[in-house]
């Protein structure tokens, strides 16, 4: 039995992970489930899965959850340190890192430092801490497996030696606004931005997909995961989301991974690697799909993509600053305090006010994250 902690169990990735595990209940045992404030959802999961631990990041929510679970053996914990605790329990083999945003950094890092198999969905953690995170993986013998569908695809298309690679091609659907009239983007609502054509995801990553900051974060993620310079990574628009990404080799070969757009495929791959298990995803029907389209990215429509590439080239904490400003801007947009088209402006203003430094310690990373958030909050206010 492989024992697993699911960080962010109440989210889209968390729920999909449990759906895969349910199909293999003789192979995986759920030790800990975590959530932020969704008491009903975490309580229901605890009744269904009987984990040893349930963690709510929010202490009031934890107190209420404890009340709900008082007649069960589930131990309820609260706060960030408990998230890190359940990510590094000696008995745990696998940690699914599926908290959204910077809140996932410390527990995901704790899992790496405890030498776990880390299934990385929480791309923001890697974008924020880059080298520090990869060093922790190496030093502590952790096994880092990408769950982001593009990176999972690249991983699947790479031989262990990773020799002879000329380019990594990340595919992007272009989100809900790929061909929306550019002059009307200004007035789009959070619900429109979250209505992704191919994927059903949490609201933050949905907005990131609409601005294409998601692809920008994924370029940074790919640089770290595959030790690739940003010049080696290209983005190609592929509206059907059937090819999840590709690797081009010096001999002209291009390997692609295809599948229905369903996160249970990369999740199952990460859980079972190097084996394969059933994920519950329906078989890909190429005849029904009939065609695959590709287009170049329009950088004018998606300024966030350029901001992210530049941040990666600048190095150090610049991508920490980019990520923090983006989180603040997206939150403000979701709360209808900021226009969609002002998201890149807030990020650009923040980046112009704070210079990245060497990201050589967690303290420096967290300090720049906090400072960027303050500046981004101000930029949001000024924009209104």
Q: Among 17, 30, 35, 372, which residue interacts with ligand NAD (rule: CB under 6 A)?
A: 35
- Does 280 bind ligand NAD (CB under 6 A)? Our answer is no
CA dihedral 98, 100, 103, 106 (to 10 degrees): 30
- Positive/negative CA dihedral, 263, 267, 268, 273: positive
Report strand pairing: 117-120 vs 94-97: parallel
Q: Among 98, 223, 372, 380, which residue interacts with ligand NAD (rule: CB under 6 A)?
A: 98
Residues in the chain: 384
**Interior CA angle at 287 toward 285 and 290, to 5°?**
110
Q: How far is CA 301 from CA 194, 212, 216, 329, 334, in A?
A: 17, 9, 14, 17, 20
Give me the least distance between CB of 286 and Mg ion, in Å please.
Answer: 22
Number of residues that bind ligand NAD (CB under 6 A): 26
Between 37 and 76, how does the x/- string for binding to ligand NAD read (CB under 6 A)?
-x------------------x-------------------
DSSP per-residue string spanning 228-297: --GGGEEEEE-TT--EEEEEEETTS-EEEEE--S-THHHHHHHHHTTS-----PPPP-HHHH-----B--
Contact range with ligand NAD by CB under 6 A, out of 33-41, 164-172, 351-359, 375-383:
33-41
Give me the least distance between CB of 266 and ligand NAD, in Å please.
Answer: 8
- Does 121 bind ligand NAD (CB under 6 A)? Our answer is yes
Binding residues for 1-deoxy-D-xylulose 5-phosphate: 123, 149-150, 173, 196, 209, 214-215, 218
Q: Among 29, 124, 148, 208, which residue interacts with Mg ion (rule: CB under 5 A)?
A: 148
Nearer CB in complex with ligand NAD: 261/357 = 261
Chain residues in the site for ligand NAD (CB under 6 A): 8-14, 35-36, 38, 57, 98-100, 103, 121-124, 148, 199, 201-202, 204-205, 263
């Amino acid at each position: 039995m492989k024992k697993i902690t699911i960080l962010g169990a109440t989210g889209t990735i968390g729920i999909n992970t449990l759906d895969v595990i349910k199909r293999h209940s003789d192979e995986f045992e759920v030790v800990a489930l975590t959530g932020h404030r969704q008491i009903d959802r975490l309580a229901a999961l605890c009744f269904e899965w009987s984990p040893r631990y349930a963690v709510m990041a929010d202490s009031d929510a934890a107190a209420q959850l404890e009340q709900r679970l008082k007649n069960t053996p589930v131990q309820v914990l609260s706060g960030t340190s408990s998230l890190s605790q359940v990510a590094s329990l000696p008995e745990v083999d696998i940690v699914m890192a599926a908290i959204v945003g910077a809140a996932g950094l410390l527990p995901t890092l704790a899992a790496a430092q405890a030498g776990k198999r880390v299934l990385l969905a929480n791309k923001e953690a890697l974008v924020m801490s880059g080298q520090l995170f990869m060093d922790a993986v190496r030093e502590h013998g952790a096994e880092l497996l990408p769950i982001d569908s593009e990176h999972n695809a690249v991983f699947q298309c790479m031989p262990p030696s990773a020799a002879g690679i000329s380019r990594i091609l990340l595919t992007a659907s272009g989100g809900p606004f790929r061909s929306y009239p550019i002059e009307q983007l200004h007035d789009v609502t959070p619900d429109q931005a979250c209505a992704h054509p191919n994927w059903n995801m949490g609201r933050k990553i949905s907005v990131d997909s609409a601005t294409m900051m998601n692809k920008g974060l994924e370029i940074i993620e790919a640089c770290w995961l595959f030790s690739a310079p940003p010049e080696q990574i290209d983005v190609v628009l592929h509206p059907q989301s059937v090819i999840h990404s590709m690797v081009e080799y010096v001999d002209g070969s291009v390997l692609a991974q295809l599948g229905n757009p369903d996160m249970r495929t990369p999740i199952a791959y990460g859980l079972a690697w190097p084996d394969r298990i059933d994920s519950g995803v329906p078989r890909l029907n190429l005849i029904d799909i009939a065609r695959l389209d590709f287009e170049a990215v329009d950088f004018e429509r998606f300024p966030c993509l350029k901001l992210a590439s530049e941040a990666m080239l600048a190095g150090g904490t610049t991508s920490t600053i980019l990520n923090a400003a983006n989180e603040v801007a997206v939150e403000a947009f979701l709360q209808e305090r900021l226009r969609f088209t002002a998201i890149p402006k807030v990020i650009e203003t923040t980046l112009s006010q704070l210079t990245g430094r060497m990201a050589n310690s967690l303290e420096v990373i967290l300090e720049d994250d906090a400072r960027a958030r303050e500046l981004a909050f101000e930029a949001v206010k000024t924009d209104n």
